[in-house]
């Protein structure tokens, strides 16, 4: 049995890993910038929490519903801003983040500043899941998502996304439907973030608007950038390092945001590919090591 | 009552214009979403506040605040943005966000998390005619903003540098082939834009009588919304959009009393306009 503290960190890191992974679909694969990703995380958490506490829907239905609602909101907001100039999405999503947080905070239906409490861990086999079991449940979902990511990367959709990311005009000239594939990436990323929100709400048992503000969006973006935008394992690595870092170094808690800011800045300025990006230090060292050993062998 | 609302709206809208103009000018030339511009605005407020504490003269503190911001803007352009221009545009945007967060946190750590009062007076006194009232700070805002806008307009339309700036915004490569030093024009752009943001910081500091670490957070996204509303890179459009948002906020708060934050108005206006005019109020496809 793992200790309660350890399991809490593990689940938090895993939720962040799913979030970073979902943002990576939008930003890494399709090259579209979202600065309000925490809003969809929040929409998922609130959807699941409200269905569970108000309508008495079980966890197993509420969490998929969270993904569905976040995805629908993603369609509704994504289509108008993805139709126009590419920079608009960054600005609009930033605004969406603020507005969604304000809606949770100001409209009594969403519990206001007090948030929503009384959300429980899921039940199975006639009893409540233990935290360790919950951890493995999320782990399985995460691995399935990674598998999906691999499948998508090798499909037409993945190819269309990379072509949009590399050169939008060329992609359009080759007949790639820009709006369709951008919206697809945005909706997929949003709904996976909603799924993460559902898992998070049932783990925390208590959610507040502040959990889903602009700062949270930046934390998620930071993880993706730090690990390596567009790589499969980079966001996961970023989530592990940046998720565990504040836990093992409590004294820097005060400067946590500063560290995040400087990390984002320095990483992009000096290692724009992130830790696992193609031109970065880590893969280069790995390749050098490999070529060395193959020369000897 | 109506005229009063109008005056309040124009006063606040003209400060928005000061912040947003630098942003739209940067976008016009470099196509960068300069989020850290709001950090430079807050820096102007802090530098202005600090020099006001030292000297005690509002006008001097305004100039020092503007100079501090201009310098900071220049360094950001020179050492952070310029080396990243060959990368996808997400790179400078992320650097900008990181810088903005780091700046806010630095303000908090150095100057403390609490608000500082910026109680500057120039001895004009308030103006009141019947029910209509303009406070001293509102007069200051209208006067200073008006002056700065006239100077900016004169630079852009009456000087060779201004001509080069407008040409760069249209097509930097072609302008360069005509013998214009594009790097110098970019630097001037940042100096001017950041100085205006610094002036806005000082004015808001005095208007609200407070300077605080996260004072740039809301302007960060509101000014972006305004810039989009005006048509990214479009200078007259940005001034128009700033006034529209300032007026909309004032009337929205005065007339409708639903519990919704006024800071969402700019964003809602942006979405509404984008639906019908995808390139902003005065933007062209």
Neighbours of A252 (CB within 10 A): 12
Chain-chain contact of B267 with A95 (C-beta, under 8 angstroms): yes
| B40 pLDDT above the threshold of 90 | yes
Answer whether B220's CB lies under 8 Å from B40's CB: no
Burial class (CB in 10 A: 0-12, 13-18, 19+), B31: middle
- Which of B35, B97, B213 best probes binding to A when mutated, by most A CB atoms within 10 angstroms? B97
B96 found inside a domain? yes
Mean pLDDT of A188-213: 94
Query: Structural domain of residue B163, as residue ranges?
Result: 12-213
- Which of B26, B32, B83, B94 best probes binding to A when mutated, by most A CB atoms within 10 angstroms? B94
Q: Is A218 in CB contact (< 8 Å) with chain B?
A: yes
Question: Structure tokens of A118?
Answer: 């009384």
A102, A221, A261: residue with CB nearest B264: A102
The verdict on pTM exceeding 0.90 is no
Mean pLDDT of A268-282: 80
Answer whether B218's CB lies under 8 Å from A99's CB: no
Neighbours of B79 (CB within 10 A): 10
How far is the alpha carbon of B2 from chain A, nearest alpha carbon, in Å?
Answer: 28
Measured CA to CA, the distance from residue A200 to residue A54 in angstroms comes to: 18
Q: Which residue in chain A is spatially nearest to B229 when comparing CA positions? A: A88
How far is the alpha carbon of B30 from chain A, nearest alpha carbon, in Å?
Answer: 13
| A270 pLDDT above the threshold of 90 | no
What is the reported pLDDT for B256? 64
B269 found inside a domain? no
| A297 pLDDT above the threshold of 60 | no
Chain-chain contact of A91 with B91 (C-beta, under 8 angstroms): no
What is the reported pLDDT for A257? 80
pLDDT in tens, B137-172: 899 999 999 999 999 999 999 999 999 999 998 888
Phi, psi of A123 (to 5 degrees): -100, 145
Three-class secondary structure of residue A33 per DSSP: coil
Chain-chain contact of A257 with B105 (C-beta, under 8 angstroms): yes
**Contact residues, chain A, for B95 at CB < 8 Å:** 264-265, 268-269
Which residues fall within 8 angstroms of residue A286, CB to CB, at 6 or more apart?
none
| A244 pLDDT above the threshold of 80 | yes
B187 found inside a domain? yes
| A280 pLDDT above the threshold of 80 | no
B154 found inside a domain? yes
Chain-chain contact of A255 with B263 (C-beta, under 8 angstroms): no
Question: Structure tokens of A253?
Answer: 């808690």
> For the packed helices A178-204 and A4-23, what is the interaxial angle rounded to 10 degrees?
170
Domain A4-253 part of CATH 1.10.3470: yes
pLDDT in tens, A94-105: 888 888 888 888
Mean pLDDT of B218-230: 87
What is the reported pLDDT for A167? 85
Q: Are strands B127-129 and A127-128 parallel, antiparallel or unpaired?
A: unpaired
How far is the alpha carbon of A84 from chain B, nearest alpha carbon, in Å?
Answer: 6
Chain-chain contact of A80 with B90 (C-beta, under 8 angstroms): no
pLDDT in tens, B43-61: 999 999 999 999 989 999 9
A95, A261, A268: residue with CB nearest B225: A95
Q: From the centroid of its chain, how far is CA A144?
A: 15
Measured CA to CA, the distance from residue B278 to residue B175 in angstroms comes to: 28
Which residues of B make CB contacts under 8 Å with A? 27, 31, 33, 80, 83-84, 87-95, 97-106, 109, 217, 221, 224-225, 228, 232, 259-261, 263-264, 267, 270-271, 274-275, 278-279
Q: Is A92 in CB contact (< 8 Å) with chain B?
A: yes
Measured CA to CA, the distance from residue A205 to residue A115 in angstroms comes to: 11
| Residue that wins the pLDDT comparison between B278 and B240 | B240
Chain-chain contact of A31 with B97 (C-beta, under 8 angstroms): no
Share of residues in chain A with pLDDT > 90 (%): 41
Identify the helix (H) or strand (E) that includes residue B84: none
pLDDT in tens, A19-49: 999 999 999 898 888 889 999 999 999 999 9
How far is the alpha carbon of B259 from chain A, nearest alpha carbon, in Å?
Answer: 7
Answer whether B52's CB lies under 8 Å from B120's CB: yes
What is the reported pLDDT for B259? 58
B87, B102, B225: residue with CB nearest A265: B102
Chain-chain contact of A87 with B232 (C-beta, under 8 angstroms): yes
């Amino acid at each position: 049995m793992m200790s309660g503290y350890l399991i809490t960190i593990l689940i938090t890191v895993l939720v962040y890993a799913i979030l970073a992974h979902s943002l990576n679909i939008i930003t890494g694969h399709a090259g579209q910038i979202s600065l309000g990703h925490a809003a969809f995380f929040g929409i998922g958490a609130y959807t699941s929490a409200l269905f569970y506490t108000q309508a008495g829907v079980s966890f197993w239905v509420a969490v998929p519903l969270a993904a569905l609602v976040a995805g629908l909101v993603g369609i509704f907001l994504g289509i108008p801003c993805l139709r126009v100039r590419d920079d608009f999405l960054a600005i609009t999503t930033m605004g969406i983040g603020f507005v969604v947080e304000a809606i949770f905070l100001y409209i009594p239906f969403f519990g206001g500043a007090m948030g929503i409490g009384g959300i429980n861990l899921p039940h199975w086999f006639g009893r409540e899941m233990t935290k360790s079991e919950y951890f493995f449940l999320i782990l399985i979902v995460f691995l399935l998502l990674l598998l999906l990511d691999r499948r998508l990367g090798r499909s037409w959709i993945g190819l269309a996304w990379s072509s949009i990311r590399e050169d939008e005009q060329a992609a359009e000239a080759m007949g790639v439907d820009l709006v369709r594939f951008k919206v697809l990436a945005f909706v997929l990323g949003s709904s996976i973030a909603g799924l993460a929100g559902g898992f998070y709400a049932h783990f925390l048992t208590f959610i507040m608007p502040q959990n889903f503000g602009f700062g949270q969006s930046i934390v998620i973006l930071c993880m993706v950038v730090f690990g390596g935008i567009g790589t499969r394992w980079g966001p996961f690595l970023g989530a592990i390092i940046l998720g565990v870092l504040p836990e093992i170094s409590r004294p820097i808690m005060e400067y946590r945001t500063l560290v995040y800011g400087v990390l984002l800045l320095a990483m992009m300025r000096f290692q724009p590919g992130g830790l696992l990006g193609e031109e970065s230090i880590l893969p280069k060292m790995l390749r050098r090591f490999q070529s060395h050993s193959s020369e000897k062998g | 009552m109506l005229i009063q609302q109008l005056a309040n709206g124009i006063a606040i809208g003209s400060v928005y214009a000061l912040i947003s103009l630098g942003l739209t000018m940067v976008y016009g030339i470099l196509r960068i979403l300069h989020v850290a511009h709001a950090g430079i605005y807050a820096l102007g407020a802090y530098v202005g506040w600090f020099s006001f504490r030292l000297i005690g003269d509002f006008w001097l503190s305004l100039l020092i605040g503007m100079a501090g911001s201009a310098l900071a803007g220049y360094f950001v352009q020179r050492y952070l943005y310029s080396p990243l221009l060959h990368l996808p545009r997400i790179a400078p945007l992320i650097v900008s966000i990181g810088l903005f967060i780091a700046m806010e946190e630095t303000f908090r750590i150095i100057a403390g998390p609490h608000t500082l009062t910026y109680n500057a007076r120039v001895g004009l006194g308030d103006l009141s005619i019947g029910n209509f009232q303009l406070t001293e700070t509102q007069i200051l805002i209208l006067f200073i903003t008006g002056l700065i806008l006239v100077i900016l307009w004169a630079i852009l339309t009456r000087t060779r540098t201004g001509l080069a700036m407008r040409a760069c915004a249209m097509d930097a490569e072609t302008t360069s082939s005509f013998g214009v030093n594009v790097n110098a024009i970019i630097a001037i752009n940042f100096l001017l834009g950041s100085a205006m943001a610094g002036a806005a910081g000082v004015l808001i500091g005095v208007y609200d009588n407070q300077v605080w670490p996260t004072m740039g957070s809301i302007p960060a996204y509101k000014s972006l919304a305004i810039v989009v509303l005006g048509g990214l890179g479009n200078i007259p459009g940005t001034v128009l959009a700033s006034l529209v948002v300032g007026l909309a906020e004032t009337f929205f708060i005065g007339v409708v009393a639903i519990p919704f934050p006024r800071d969402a108005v700019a964003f809602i206006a942006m979405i509404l306009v984008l639906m019908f005019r995808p390139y902003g109020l005065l933007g062209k496809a």
